[in-house]
Amino acid sequence: MLKEQIRRIAPPGAAALAMGLVLAGSAHAAPDIKALADKNGCFSCHGMQGKLVGPGFAEVAAKYKGDGEAAGKLARKIQEGGKGVWGRIPMPPHPSLKDEEAKQLAAWVLEAG
């Protein structure tokens, strides 16, 4: 009976339309994160896959794989900078990044692997 009521209320294709809207919203998140990374100079030192000055994002993701605290650690490193983890060249701090932006960048980097 409930299924029949739902069929009468929801027009055909409503579920497909809703799913399409959800997926379309997700598709727009990646360009926003890439723009944030570009704006903050991330691509000046990091490639998606391989090392430029610093490690590639895929290398970072592989290093932190399985670490439940990785997103927080990486967000802090993005904001505070670091040295000695990937070689002699330090990563400069990005103190102007908001906490939420650093967390978004960290999550995006961790998904790169």
**Tell me, what DSSP letter sits at residue 46?**
B
pTM: 0.69
Residue 33: Cβ within 10 Å count = 17
Q: Does residue 86 register a pLDDT over 60?
A: yes
| The pLDDT value given to residue 112 | 83
**Residue matched to tokens 């399985």:** 66
| The pLDDT value given to residue 19 | 37
Residues 26, 61: Cα–Cα separation, whole Å = 21
pLDDT tens track for 26-76: 344 566 999 999 999 999 999 999 899 999 999 999 999 999 999 999 999
pLDDT tens track for 1-30: 544 544 555 555 544 433 333 334 434 456
Q: How far apart are the first and last CA of the chain?
A: 47
Residue 51: Cβ within 10 Å count = 13
* 3, containing H or E segment: helix 2-9
**In CATH, which of 2.60.40.10, 1.10.760.10, 4.10.520.10, 3.40.190.10 is domain 30-111?**
1.10.760.10
| The pLDDT value given to residue 113 | 65
Helices and strands (H, E) in the chain, number of each type:
6, 0
**Positive/negative CA dihedral, 55, 57, 59, 60:** positive
Strand partners, 51: 46
| The pLDDT value given to residue 18 | 39
Helix, strand, or coil (residue 102): helix
| The pLDDT value given to residue 47 | 94
Domain ranges of the chain: 30-111
